[in-house]
Amino acid sequence: MSYVYTVARLRGMENHLLDGAFFSRLMDSASIDDAVKALGETSYSQWISQSSGVNFDKAIDAEILATCEELKSFVPDKELLDIFRLPYDFHNVKVLLKGLFKVRGGDTEGRRYDLISKLGTIDTEELTNSIETEEYGFLPYGLTDLIPACWTLWDQTKNAQAVELLIDHAMFKAMLNVAENLKMPDIIQWVKFKIDAENLRAAIRLARMKYDPAKSLPFFHEGGTIRPDDMAKLLNEPQETWSRILSYTDIGSVLGALSEQSDMKAALSDVSKALDDYLLKVLEKAKYSMDSPANVLLFLLTKEAEARNMRVALVCVAGGLDREFGRRLLSNGR
């Protein structure tokens, strides 16, 4: 299959994506039953009926998984899908390892198989067996070496956060490797911007916790367009100046919300949303190309944003939460 076919088919599939007006209507639903009724007109309805009408998380995951499987059947470079799915593999590794850490600590109920996502590229059963039986030989993306390193770190420090960071570092390294092997400049650039975005999120969280800047370097990932050293230096400066300090980078403009917001909770959510939107925006120039492979990743990210919006809207409706705050969390998907 050629990318001309792929992009044309994606254009057709884009017509089925849910837009902002739909989510606004969904948010206005008086009850969860009304929201389910509204979802009846969408592609999510098939999964909601299959999951007994209440397990929205599973329904949303099933919809994204079905989208990935459909794309797999006609996208020429399957590795493009791997870039999107790879974070779910590393999420599963985190869940499984943390469960085993708890089990070894004496908590026999520590395993949380319910948190494992089926969206990864590695079959969840195979991954679970592999980690439980400590046979990592077949695992891709450097997991063969990473998991033993996680165990060593855990044995030495008993620090789950340090293990998570180690896994995240490896994840971004693996994403960059896959992107570089694809030799697609737009995709490589996107992965680098994603690393920047993740580092910025970490910086905002650390600043909020008033974390010691001198000890912050391990929290930042290598491979982005902004060096981890420079990210760590940001913590020495007032947050309202970060936007100006990073003005030489493309991602610096996203921090505008931080300098305008005095409410830290709102600023964090606004910047987080702005970073998600930014990662979509950097791929949007692919929309003007009839055969750019970046359109595949753009579609998947738009679908993921749709799923995120769906979660926000349904949680707001089900929990009777503040709709205005919920609306602010909605990403600009389609």
Smallest separation (angstroms) from another protein to the CB of 12? 3
The size of the chain, in residues, is: 334
> Burial, 54: exposed, middle or buried (Cβ in 10 Å; 0-12, 13-18, 19+)?
exposed
CB nearer another protein, residue 46 or residue 129 = 46
> Which amino acid, 9?
R
> Burial, 32: exposed, middle or buried (Cβ in 10 Å; 0-12, 13-18, 19+)?
middle
CB nearer another protein, residue 159 or residue 289 = 289
Structure tokens at 286: 């692919």
DSSP 61-115: HHHHHHHHHHHHTT-S-THHHHHHHHHHHHHHHHHHHHHHHHHHTT-TT---GGG
CB nearer another protein, residue 128 or residue 302 = 302
Residue 46 in the binding site for another protein (CB under 8 A): no
Rounded to whole angstroms, the Cα distance separating 167 from 185 reads 25
Rounded to whole angstroms, the Cα distance separating 217 from 230 reads 9
Residue 12 in the binding site for another protein (CB under 8 A): yes
CB nearer another protein, residue 5 or residue 138 = 5
Residue 67 in the binding site for another protein (CB under 8 A): no
Q: By CB under 8 A, how many residues form the interface with another protein?
A: 17
CB nearer another protein, residue 10 or residue 297 = 10
CB nearer another protein, residue 10 or residue 226 = 10
Nearest 10 degrees: Cα torsion 272, 275, 276, 281: 160
Residue 8 in the binding site for another protein (CB under 8 A): yes
Q: Which of residues 276-305 bind another protein (CB under 8 A)?
A: 290-291
Dihedral sign for Cα atoms in the order 130, 58, 317, 299: positive
Residue 15 in the binding site for another protein (CB under 8 A): yes
Residue 2 in the binding site for another protein (CB under 8 A): yes
Residue 119 per-residue DSSP state: T
Smallest separation (angstroms) from another protein to the CB of 297? 17
User: Which window, 8-16, 121-129, 273-281, 308-316, contacts another protein (CB under 8 A)?
Assistant: 8-16
For another protein, the binding residue among 9, 58, 118, 311 (CB under 8 A) is: 9
Structure tokens at 80: 């493009």
CB nearer another protein, residue 8 or residue 149 = 8
Smallest separation (angstroms) from another protein to the CB of 291? 8
Residue 17 in the binding site for another protein (CB under 8 A): no
Residues forming contacts to another protein in the complex (CB under 8 A) are 2, 4-16, 74, 290-291
